Chain A
Amino acid sequence: SSGGGPQGHRSYQQKNLEGYVGFANLPNQVYRKSVKRGFEFTLMVVGESGLGKSTLINSLFLTDLYSSEYPGPSHRIKKTVQVEQSKVLVKEGGVQLLLTIVDTPGFGDAVDNSNCWQPVIDHIDSKFEDYLNSESRVNRRQMPDNRVHCCLYFIAPSGHGLKPLDIEFMKRLHEKVNIIPLIAKADTMTPEECQQFKKQIMREIQEHKIKIYEFPETDDEEENKLVKKIKDRLPLAVVGSNTIIEVNGKRVRGRQYPWGVAEVENGDHCDFTILRNMLIRTHMQDLKDVTNNVHYENYRSRKLAAVTYNGADNNKSKGQLTKVDTVEGISPLAQMEEERREHMAKMKKMEMEMEQVFEMKVKEKLQKLKDSEAELQRRHEQMKKNLEAQHKELEEKRRQFEEEKVSWEAQQHLLEQQKLDASRYTLPNQKKGKNIDSFNKAVLNVLCMSLQH
């Protein structure tokens, strides 16, 4: 990375060279290598539709990124906020730049714009995540940098101040990406109105503690003067145009009104040239550096500090290394302890729940068994009753039978008695005795027969 000699340490001795060694050629070597590699830059544009975003992008890069075949975000009416990327490769003077423009069509256009910034945040985070993953891989040969390096936020030229949506968006994104607020369609305002508007916006930005992109101080006095001039004109009021108009014999980019031509590249008319120079010619690398050193590092440390006890094992299996930052020391460990405690608590809870379920099941089973036992008991009783009833019945029958037997015997006895009585009276007639015997026998038979009945 950049830098010249020893940084502030007085312990290094400066030695004078006795001849030409040749390492002054280092910057050239770096330059050549970079040129061969080519550069990448990702620029995000955010703002309501109709603020001239596409026109400005076309003007900035002097190319028709958006045209009638591929219209800009305002022509693609969306029901919800989308995040779309378009890539273009521009070449100039042997240097190759892979430019990615990230659009947000639909931002701020609905009646209810709550959370319309969320897709933007998600996009930026996902790019950081991709970079983090590719950084942690074993094979790091190909490491494309798709992180969003700069976000141009377009403010509508109301002349009053920031809208609640502007404030909310910037507050949520100023720690994730370099925000450069721009006043769009600046030809709506007179110079005095513009001045007042800019002051009001900067006041509100400070009031809400929004951290917009800051131009770095350099050691060079001249450069610092320029930087200060830029800072005084923040936020930059821009005008974009793709049409070329002739003014005083010169061909310039501008907008033709009945009362005059607003020239895009005229410093008195708007701050477009400042924006272009700053964005492309002087501070492109710094934007990338700040993204890498500040925003990306913020993301990374937050992500890694949130690594859980279990998460560590999971990540290892995915082939990623999780570095516990020893400088931060206590917080990741405390975090792990916290996670462990949580885990134990969860386990305990699950255990209790299972016990409860088990108890319940046992109760149910017991109840069932009881019920079936009662059922069996009941049946047993029933059968016993039946048996007893039958027994009684039989008893009854037998008693009846006995009674009949007794009565029949009594009758027999009576008959016998009658026979005896009858034979006493007819003794002399023994012949008749036989006959009486047969007569008695016949009577007996008749009696038996009637008894049988």
Chain B
Amino acid sequence: MWGSTLLGYVGIDTIIEQMRKKTMKTGFDFNIMVVGQSGLGKSTLVNTLFKSQVSRRSSGWSRDDKIPKTVEIKSVSHVIEEGGVKMKLTVIDTPGFGDQINNENCWEPISKYINEQYEKFLKEEVNIARKKRIPDTRVHCCLYFISPTGHSLRQLDVEFMKHLGRAVNIIPVIAKADTLTPEEKTEFKQRVRKELEVCGIEFYPQKEFDEDMEDKSDNDKIREAMPFAVVGSDKEYQVNGKRVLGRKTAWGIVEVENPNHCEFSLLRDFLIRSHLQDLKEVTHNIHYETYRAKRLNDNGGLHPISSSSDTQESNL
């Protein structure tokens, strides 16, 4: 392929602007799942991330609700808008995870849900008359909340991430990080990262999907800093003349967006400001493709289904 120098301004670079306009018009979907024991601040964190009351808690569920006897999957969708860009954000909550006395296989309902979304998408894709825009309910990102014990990962954490690391992008976060002093935080993070490595758990951003050197160096930095130790809050306080999101204790105010206090800003920038699109792409190009290949190989080829009849697929 030979390159030719342009003799004048053609206007090819306006394609970026065209894409931007299109994206703004169509908007996009983002599906985020939160997994962790009850009381780790999942709902609060999601609200803080998207600076609005988008979690299940804000949509009518109260704190005093009983812990369900099995893991349930509850999703809530909102449309949020910023700078002309519309995003349909779906937060998928998993109440009951890890809360029972016997938590054997409590990740199975979650795994089933994730695969069901892939299946839905696959069915739509395989249709003869396809929809113009296939609704994307696939889980783009799974925030896994680690309890800040200060010691190491719990057996349940390892089991979950082992079973689901290959099906969805898992981003582990250390919840309620205001429990840990800075030294404890560093030690804990190191120990957790070592344990993840020993168990062979690949969290997002996965090393194997780095596309080029630039990606690799950026992602390496992020991987070194993970898991992020976060604090969430939806209350504002006055600190040094500014209004900040924080938690007020008797010995001081924990500022959520202060990088000296916790790594919430790092998480937010990583998740929303730089890697949001990449999360979707990895989900579509890698996790979904893996699922699709497996399905097609197992079934000996899926036949296109006409949109009028919706035959039941064989069970997985």
Interface residues of A (CB under 8 A from B): 48-51, 74-75, 77, 109-114, 156-161, 163-165, 168, 185, 187-191, 200, 255-263, 266, 268-269
Contact = CB atoms under 8 A, between A and B. Distances in A.
Contacts of B103: 111-113
Contact of A50 (B64, B151, B255, B258): B151
B78 to A, nearest CB: 24
Interface stretch (B94-102, B129-137, B216-224): B94-102
Contact of A113 (B102, B150, B182, B255): B102
B268 interface: no
Interface in B153-175: 154-156, 159
Contacts of A268: 250
A262 B251 contact: yes
29 contacts: A50-B148, A50-B151, A74-B151, A75-B151, A109-B154, A111-B159, A112-B102, A112-B104, A114-B102, A157-B176, A158-B39, A159-B41, A160-B39, A161-B64, A163-B67, A164-B99, A185-B179, A187-B179, A188-B179, A190-B248, A255-B181, A257-B182, A259-B254, A259-B255, A260-B249, A262-B250, A262-B251, A268-B250, A269-B251
B250 to A, nearest CB: 5
Nearest to A169: B101
A190 B232 CA distance: 13
A48 B101 CA distance: 12
B293 to A, nearest CB: 31
B77 interface: no
A428 to B, nearest CB: 136
Given A50-B150, A113-B102, A256-B181, 19 more contacts: A50-B147, A50-B148, A74-B149, A74-B151, A75-B151, A77-B152, A109-B155, A112-B104, A113-B101, A113-B103, A114-B102, A160-B67, A161-B67, A188-B178, A188-B179, A190-B249, A258-B261, A259-B253, A259-B255
A168 B249 CA distance: 32
B211 to A, nearest CB: 37
Interface residues of B, number: 41
Contacts of B150: 50
A327 to B, nearest CB: 39
Contact of B39 (A77, A112, A159, A255): A159
A259 B250 contact: no
Contacts of B248: 190
> Sorted from nearest, which 9 A-B pairs have the closest CB atoms?
A158-B39, A50-B149, A260-B252, A259-B252, A260-B251, A112-B102, A188-B179, A160-B39, A50-B151
Contacts of B104: 111-112
A256 B260 CA distance: 13
Contacts of A75: 151
Give chain A's interface secondary structure class: loop
B63 interface: yes
A163 B95 CA distance: 13
A156 B101 contact: no
Contacts of A185: 179
B37 interface: yes
Most chain B CB within 10 A, of A75, A160, A260, is at: A160
Given A158-B37, A262-B249, A200 B147 contact: no
Interface of B: 37-41, 63-64, 67, 99-104, 147-152, 154-156, 159, 176, 178-179, 181-182, 247-255, 258, 260-261
Nearest to A113: B101
A237 to B, nearest CB: 12
A259 B247 CA distance: 10
A171 to B, nearest CB: 12
Given A49-B151, A158-B39, A185-B179, A114 B251 contact: no
B162 to A, nearest CB: 12
A164 B251 contact: no
Given A112-B104, A163-B99, A268-B250, A257 B149 contact: no
B251 A258 contact: no
A50 B63 CA distance: 24
A110 B155 contact: yes
A274 to B, nearest CB: 15
A158 B155 contact: no
Contacts of B152: 77
Contacts of B250: 191, 262, 266, 268-269
A185 B180 CA distance: 10
Contacts of B258: 258
A289 B253 CA distance: 44
A190 B102 contact: no
A178 B199 CA distance: 41
Contacts of B254: 257, 259
Contacts of A189: 249
A75 B182 CA distance: 20
B40 A158 contact: yes
A187 B177 CA distance: 11
B165 to A, nearest CB: 17
Nearest to A255: B181
A373 to B, nearest CB: 67
A261 B64 CA distance: 31
A258 B249 contact: no
A258 B154 contact: no
A435 to B, nearest CB: 128
Nearest to B99: A163
B121 to A, nearest CB: 31
A46 to B, nearest CB: 15
Given A111-B156, A187-B179, A190-B249, A259 B261 contact: yes
Most chain B CB within 10 A, of A51, A159, A258, is at: A258
B249 to A, nearest CB: 5
Nearest to A256: B181
Given A74-B151, A159-B39, A164 B101 contact: yes
Contacts of A256: 181
A164 B67 contact: yes
Contact of A261 (B151, B176, B251): B251
Contacts of A164: 67, 99-101
A317 B255 CA distance: 72
Contacts of B149: 48-51, 74
A256 B148 CA distance: 16
Contact of A168 (B41, B101, B154): B101
A188 B155 contact: no
A190 to B, nearest CB: 5
Contacts of B249: 187, 189-191, 259-260, 262
A191 B253 CA distance: 12
A75 to B, nearest CB: 7
Contacts of B253: 259
Nearest to A191: B250
A165 B261 CA distance: 33
Contacts of A190: 247-249
A196 to B, nearest CB: 8
Given A74-B149, A111-B155, A159-B39, A200 B64 contact: yes
